[in-house]
Structure 1
Amino acid sequence: MQFDKPATTNPIDQLKVVGKPIHRIDGELKTTGRAMYAYEWHEKNTPYVYGYPVGSAIAKGHVKSIDVAAAKKSPGVLAVVTTLDVGDREKGKFNTAKLFGGSEIQHYHQAVAVVVAETFEQARAAAGLVKVDYEAEDGTYDLRAAMPSAKKPDESTKPETAVGDFERTFKSAEVTLNQTYTTPDQSHSMMEPHASIAVWDGDEVTVWTSSQMIDWWRTDLATTLGVDKEKVHLMSPFIGGGFGGKLFLRADAVLAAFGSKAAGRPVKVALPRPLMPNNTTHRPATIQRIRIGAGRDGKITAIGHESWSGDLEGGGPETAVNQTRLLYAGANRMTAMHLATLDLPEGNAMRAPGEAPGLMALEIAIDEIAEKVGMDPIQFRIINDTQVDPENPERPFSMRNLIGCLELGAKKFGWSERPKAASHRDGDWLIGMGVAAAFRDNLVVPSGARVKLGNDGVVTVETDMTDIGTGSYTIIAQTAAEMMGVGIDKVAVQLGDSRFPVSAGSGGQFGANSSTSGVYAACVKLREAIAAKLGFNSENAVFENGEVRSGDRSVPLADAAGDEGLVGEDTMKWGDLTKTHQQSTFGAHFVEVGVDAFTGETRVRRMLAVCAAGRILNPITARSQVIGAMTMGAGGALSEELAVDTRRGFFVNHDLAGYEVPVHADIPHQEVIFMDEVDPMSSPMKAKGVGELGLCGVSAAIANAIYNATGIRVRHYPITLDKLIGELPEVA
């Protein structure tokens, strides 16, 4: 099915199932421990063994030799496979860094060997006996030091934009801001580690893994193994979080496959937590310079945003200027990205890449220029709203209600009671409120599904879509139930299997809208097949209450299936509507903080997110996504930072003891409000993504609240107490 014109009224609009607060249909499996995650997969009488990875002890150079003699003699060891044994391999399409194979070392903790043994403990012990001789090379590990050598990224990233005359207008503006902001390297830190089980049957391999994108992984794994893609069967029915860290094939799956081949047994490999930050991808650090010129009336006349980030040779930039191209009006504009070559682990997608770190800077800058103008920061944002793409005024937004989000949020949060900076105390706590706009592009990608009707009246959906804790099982079931006119208890959903039609996968905030649209398309095919079999006109047939009705004739769905059942399969493809209309999601984040007047400790006291993101397919699962994102934003603001050893090129705090993420005690009451909105330009579901919107802007809202509490402006994340305490005695 091709979606190339705005959606009109369709069966989804009945909203008998879609849009209802239905609890997760997979919830019972997860809460009772019956949902099998990658490392837990088991079949009776299968002799699983264990692989343990060995990571590189240098960040750049070559492996000269690997001595595995002692490891092979260790108790229980079945096989040792080294990167030299495997040799140079094609790495596939989606990774910048290679995962395994050859002598070159591109980053610290790159996999150089895997030891396979009867037990996990035996494999781990033997891995410690592997001796690697390296030839180390000097590398570049400091982004700030590498700024002078940074270059314009590949044109595919749209590295620069310019409208009007930014430099001249900025210099002549009545009020100007020129500041630099920094965000650190960050780790995905999902609960479930990267884990895989591989088993070979002749020249075919089956891999149970933790993957957000089944087809991407399958394609690249086949390339790395040097086998035909049809020989690779990938399964990932349940995933314990990903945040972008499982978008691309990872070393655990590759090591499990090579280890299983060598040992002749099904092999389990999980990356130990201390290996994950350096071995896998991360959100790269940024240095961002923002310049804004405005009139005394608060109208932006010039806005410029430059960002520097780094990655391995051949990698791409952190696109932190993306939102600045679309969020606020202003006739004279400039954005630019600069990419330095760094020999750190690969920088790549982490929840809301681009907008998340970009808004961490931009939304502080907006507060700063609003203060210079002498205007309330919400009012400043409102008067600089735009209903068209400011870089292409002929292209309107398909739906944009940022003003509604700001105004409703201000009312609900009690913004009118916001104190002047450093003026309100509660005992030893300095109290402040902050706000930030939320913005994230609405992306859609092709997505396929197969829908089967059985003679028991059950509708079964098959798609390789994944559920990373987002609620995919449930919203897909809701979509099929709505389309086929049955209760959700009559829908079975099977996900995460490469034998099923290729879906959107989970990433980029495109998963929910795209995958349900694919199910919609498949259900249209199934409805047509049912109508044809029953002699109905498919355009007039009504599917409801487990029946198909046309005129005064109705037939139970189960009867329509017959003995063989019926199948509908299709892929939703997308036309050019994004060329004529900019599709984005919007929101507003409000935060109240307390800062200890003597220690600088910051505590988030309450949070509110107001989101305008098209039709909300399930308010329960959508709210869960937003509060999780808000929590991640709190971590980004106050604690999360991968500390770089700029001498040896690795992240020092590579575990959950040193890399501090928020815990329950850090997170207070969170409230989420969804605006009543549908966007016919977006999809037949008239929905958009929301899981990344919930993160965008949160950290800046906290930074702005800290400023309101203390009068201290911090422009470098995370906002730890050492960045406040020097100025606190005067404030206190």
Structure 2
Amino acid sequence: MTQTLPPAVGKRLDRIDGHAKTTGGARFSAEYPYPDLAHAALVHATVARGRITGIDTTAATAVPGVITVLTHHNAPALKPAPRVSMMNMSTLISGTSVDYLNTDEVHWDGQPVAVVIAETSEAAREAADLVRVGYRSLPSTVDFAAERKNAKPQKNNPILPSGGKKGDAEAALAVAPVSVDLRFTTPPHNHNAIEPHATTAVWDGDHLTVHEATQAIHYLRSHLATRFAVPPANVRVIAPYVGGGFGGKAMAWAGTLLAVMAARATGRPVRLPLTREAVYRTVGGRSPSAQRVALGANADGKLTAIVHTSVVRQGNGIPEGVTTQTRHLYAAENILLRQNLVELDLLPNTSMRAPGEAVGSFPLESAIDELAYRLGLDPIELRMRNEPTVGPLDGKKFSHRMLREAYAQGAESFGWANRSAQPGSMRDGRWLVGMGVATAYHPGLRFTADVTVRLSADGSVLVRCGFQEMGMGAATAQAQIAADALGVPIDAVKVAYGDSDLPTAPMAGGSVQTASVAASVLEACEKLKDRLHKLARRHGTGSYPETLAKAGLPAVEAAVGSDTRLGRLAGQARMIATIMRDLRTVKAATGAHFCEVRVDTDTGEVRVTRWTGVFDIGRVVNPKTATSQLQGGIVMGIGMALSEETLVDPRTGRIMNPSLTGYHVPVHADIPPIEVAFLDDPDPTMPLGIVGAGEVGITGVPAAVANAVYHATGKRILDLPITVDKVV
């Protein structure tokens, strides 16, 4: 019963859900039909801080088809959001602590103050526009730039430290033979997944079914159970297909809670899809940041001091790891890292692809580039001279680190040797040509998952786990892993996922899902094989189906974890032990970005014309889906670099460009061919050697673009995005 099939892990396989998605067979959260389905739309506050003095719904209720309008006068009561606790991961998904429609207080411009329920979506939207709300405005603070001086130190977190110190970095900086001391800013960003947030909610007595665009199925179940005062077993969250998440669908935002509230109030199934504008008004995005990076070095390029400090907006309890990469990337005798928060009367920011590292890597990698020019060193050579052998701040061992190999392979593939060292010296007609590099870095985290694996007498395998599939090929990867573990063809493996009735899984965030679920799939498969071997010794050897037939069993199953009370407690202990064990070493996905830009000498237009990325993400389960993940991260990073910016009115706190007509994301014409390569070397401390590919691709990208622009023009851009006015 040993494996004789070629391995499935490492093959470029199509996604197993690809056919359903490309033919329209996949059903998303706003597409589930229910008899007597009602439709809902939100009414948003138009002041940043204040109290509601009156709501006139007369015109709204007169619209044909309107069932009711819920306001703070007649809405069912919600239980308060639970306090954030690392001992209960489901508490992390409270997007805000606001009691929607249970208060007359307004905390930000855009906060939902009413929800209209009608027979059709058209009637709901029309009526929502007719609701008139009066306010007593209160003093508000909404200008991030003006309020940065009032920032306070961020509290420490056992998983994401808020800072760190070794030696006296400021003193070392003051006497360094060569130094740079730069200030950077990055703007707020908003989520724009292909599928906007949507909820279909159905109550049956005190049992709730929710079809939801979520990347945290089981955490959302617990959250809804708490807020609506029902047992978690009475809540079912179904999300087999999610059209992109990137962190925006990790939290329980207003649309979800108010759809469930509306369904309870009306006694009917209710669907509430958010418009693009409503996503901006009610779903958190990336925080703006102000950062300082100062580097001191000897004449040979050896770093003597690193200072990295930041100010960001207050979020929802999950800190922005702005200085995370700076803890681990470069060796220096003196390091100072500090993260600060400022509270504003705006919708709280939330996780957005590589939260913290995406913006924190921009100033660090830009400052390293600037120092290289001042030293007269190649930017790659400077990085290699300061490549650490252990964690620079805490001395922890690296579980796996191959940045030297990534840079060497990337430089060869990209043609870095053809780069002229002098800024502004490379031209092609009217275009200035520049090349830039930057390091990619994202921590490798792992949580735990409950899994069952069932082998039937016909040779088929069923893997059950309530993880999330947001387009990254999660189900395909787990099928590959199970096929190899059991020695069966991948076509024999079916994966059930996307449903809270399945065994509990962590949220799809922090690049944790693949490794976390893989660990449990492998453990369950080992348990299953052990049972089969015992059966074979008792009934005679043969193939798995033959063994089951001889034993007279239709199937055999093995499980990791359970949803019983004791099982949940054991699972919590298992997760804490896993996290604490993993924190003993530095685990991370890393990579090297190589970027070529062309800058129009007349207009200042910047075009990215070539890209090469080489990544160390441990074992690559499926090169096809991993390549897509990393290319997508690079595309998102190019958007950060050149165009993406949420514009907040500093007087009113109102988002001024709440849609894709004014918020500019990259389109096909903005993106060159992107070459992605993997070192494909397993991390020996992770399940199957998997580290994670979802977020590392975006880190370092804005810096690589900015560094290429500097090489092309001699202008160091310190404020994102790199728009024409900053280049000319």
TM-score (norm 2): 0.93
Amino acid of the structure 2 residue aligned with 1:490: A
Aligned residue for 1:447, secondary structure, equals coil
Q: Which residue of 2 aligns with 1:137?
A: 138
Cα 1:152–1:554 change in 2 (3 A) is closer
Shift of 1:676: 2.9
Of 502, 511, 521, 1:519 maps to 521
Counterpart residue number, 1:699? 702
CA RMSD, 1 decimal: 2.1
Is residue 20 of structure 1 aligned with residue 8 of structure 2? no
Using the TM superposition, give the Cα deviation of residue 219 of structure 1 relative to its aligned residue in structure 2, in angstroms. 1.3
Q: CA deviation at 1:578?
A: 2.4
State whether residues 295 and 306 of structure 2, in contact with CA within 8 Å, keep that contact through their aligned partners in structure 1.
yes
Q: Offset at 1:75?
A: 0.4
Q: Which residue of 2 aligns with 1:220?
A: 223
Deviations 1:507-534 (A, max 9, x none): 1011111122222222223223333333
Deviation at 1:305, TM superposition (A): 0.3
Cα deviation for residue 315 of structure 1 reads 4.5
Aligned residue in 2 for 1:296? 299
- The 5-angstrom pairing of residues 259-270 of structure 1 reads 259-270=262-273
**Per-residue deviation, 1:31:** 0.4
Query: Per-residue deviation at 1:212?
Result: 0.3
Alpha-carbon offset, residue 275 of structure 1: 1.4
Q: Cα distance, 1:324 vs. partner?
A: 0.6
8 Å contact 2:3–2:487 — kept in the other structure?
no
1:262 positional shift: 2.2
Residue 612, structure 1, aligned to residue 616, structure 2 = yes
Tell me if the contact between 1:442 and 1:585 (Cα under 8 Å) persists in the aligned partners: yes
| Deviates most, 373-382 or 341-350 | 341-350
Alpha-carbon spacing, 1:641–1:518, altered in 2? closer, same or farther (3 Å): same
Q: Point out the more displaced range, 13-22 or 473-482.
A: 13-22
- 1:358-383 CA-to-partner distances (Å, cap 9, x unmatched) read 00111100000111111000000011
Report what 1:711 is aligned to. 714
How far the C-alpha of 1:15 sits from its partner, in A, is: 6.7
Q: How many residues of Structure 1 are paired with residues of Structure 2 in the alignment?
A: 699
Aligned to 1:100: 100
2:660 paired residue number: 656
Q: Which residue of 1 aligns with 2:348?
A: 346
Could you tell me how far apart the structure 2 residues matched to 1:707 and 1:605 are? Answer: 15
Per the alignment, in what secondary structure is the counterpart of residue 346 of structure 1? coil
Write out per-residue CA displacement over residues 407-441 of structure 1, whole angstroms, 9 at most, x where no aligned residue: 11111100011122111221221111110011110
CA drift at 1:155: 2.4
Gap change, CA 1:324 and 1:14, over 3 Å in 2: farther
Distance (whole Å) between structure 2 residues aligned to residue 171 and residue 526 of structure 1: 62
Give the letter for the 1:359 counterpart. Answer: S
Structure-2 separation of matches of 1:36 and 1:75: 30
Report the equivalent of 1:668.
672
Q: Among residues 475, 478, 496, which one is paired with 2:477 in the alignment?
A: 475
Q: Which structure 2 residues correspond to residues 51-450 of structure 1 after superposition, within 5 A?
A: 51-86=40-75, 87=77, 89-92=79-82, 93=91, 94-95=93-94, 96-98=96-98, 100-101=100-101, 102-156=103-157, 158-311=161-314, 315=317, 317-393=319-395, 395-419=396-420, 420-450=422-452
Which whole-Å CA distance do the structure 1 matches of 2:584 and 2:317 have between them? 30
Q: CA deviation at 1:563?
A: 5.1
Q: 1:475 to 1:561 in 2, by over 3 A?
A: farther
Q: Following TM superposition, by how much is the alpha carbon of 1:656 offset from its aligned partner in structure 2, in angstroms?
A: 0.7
Partner of 1:381: helix, strand, or coil? Answer: helix
Query: Structure 2 CA distance, aligned partners of 1:36 and 1:364?
Result: 44
Give the structure 2 partner of residue 580 of structure 1: 584
- Contact 1:309/1:317, CA 8 A, preserved across alignment: no
Contact preservation (8 Å) 1:177, 1:369: yes
The one-letter code sitting in structure 2 at the alignment partner of 1:657 is T
Pairwise CA distance, 1:230 = 1.7
Q: Percent of aligned positions with the same letter in both sequences?
A: 40
Query: CA offset at residue 556 of structure 1?
Result: 3.3
- Say if 1:149 and 1:562 are closer, same or farther in 2 by CA, change over 3 A: farther
CA spacing shift, 1:121–1:432, aligned 2, 3 Å: same
Deviation per CA, 1:549-603, whole angstroms, max 9, x where unpaired?
A: 95x7875366378554222110475544424321111100001011111111111
CA pair 560-332 structure 1, distance change in 2 beyond 3 A: farther
Q: Which amino acid aligns with 1:212?
A: Q
CA contact (8 A) 1:186 1:284 kept: yes
- Higher deviation after alignment, 253-262 or 377-386: 253-262
CA positional deviation for 1:615: 0.2
SS for the counterpart of 1:580 is: coil
Would the alpha carbon gap of residues 680 and 642 (structure 1) be closer, same or farther in structure 2, given more than 3 Å must change? same
Give the conservation status (yes or no) of the 8 Å contact 2:536–2:547.
Answer: no
Aligned partner letter, 2:419: R
Letter in 2 for 1:380: L
Q: Which amino acid aligns with 1:79?
A: T
Q: How does 1:534-545 map to 2 (within 5 A)?
A: 534-535=536-537
CA displacement, residues 207-238 of structure 1 (integer Å, 9 cap, x when unaligned): 00011011111111122222222221111100
C-alpha distance in structure 2 between counterparts of 1:277 and 1:560, whole Å: 60
Label 1:488 to 1:71 Cα distance change in 2 as closer, same or farther (>3 A).
same
Contact persistence 2:457–2:546 (CA under 8 A)? no
In structure 1, the partner of 2:21 is 30
Q: 2:78–2:99: 8 Å Cα contact kept in structure 1?
A: no
**CA distance 1:12–1:457, change in 2 (3 Å):** closer
Relative to the length of structure 1, the TM-score reads 0.92
Find the aligned partners of 2:548 and 2:414 in 1 and give their Cα distance: 51
Structure 2 regions of 5+ residues with no counterpart? 83-90, 562-573
Cα 1:433/1:73, change in 2 over 3 Å: same
| Deviation larger for 619-628 or 564-573 | 564-573
What does residue range 500-511 of structure 1 map to in structure 2 within 5 Å? Answer: 500-511=502-513
Deviation at 1:68, TM superposition (A): 2.2
- What code does the residue aligned with 2:281 have? N
CA distance in 2, matches of 1:448, 1:557: 27
The verdict on how the C-alpha distance between 1:179 and 1:524 changes in structure 2, with shifts beyond 3 A counting, is same
Distance 2:636 2:99 in 1: 28
After the TM superposition, list the runs of 4 or more consecutive aligned residues in structure 1 that deviate by more than 6 angstroms: 11-15
- 8 A Cα contact 1:311 1:343, kept in partner: no
Letter in 1 for 2:50: G
With 609-618 and 218-227 compared, the bigger mean Cα shift is at 218-227
Do 2:411 and 2:417's aligned partners in 1 also have CA atoms closer than 8 Å? Answer: yes
Deviations 1:289-328 (A, max 9, x none): 011000000000110100011126x745432111111110
Shift of the 561–391 alpha-carbon distance from structure 1 to 2, 3 Å rule, reads farther
Among 601, 606, 612, which residue is 1:602 paired with? 606
2:74 alignment partner, SS class:
helix
Moved more, 155-164 or 29-38: 155-164
**1:13 positional shift:** 13
Q: Is the 8 A contact 1:81 1:115 kept in 2?
A: yes
Match of 2:557 among 543, 557, 567: 567
SS of the residue 2:517 aligns to: helix
Task: Tell me the distance in 1 between the aligned counterparts of 2:376 and 2:26.
Answer: 55
8 Å CA contact 2:637, 2:702 repeated in 1? yes
Q: Is the 8 A contact 1:60 1:137 kept in 2?
A: yes
Q: CA separation in 2, counterparts of 1:42 and 1:385? A: 56
1:233-271, Cα deviation, whole Å (9 max, x unpaired): 111100000100011112222121111122222111111
SS in 2 for 1:719: coil
Q: CA deviation at 1:505?
A: 2.5
Q: Which moved more, 1:417-426 or 1:651-660?
A: 417-426
Counterpart code for 2:290: I
Could you tell me how far 1:55 is from its partner in structure 2?
A: 1.4
Contact persistence 2:457–2:545 (CA under 8 A): no
Are the counterparts in 2 of residues 453 and 561 from structure 1 also a CA contact under 8 Å? no
Aligned to 2:85: none
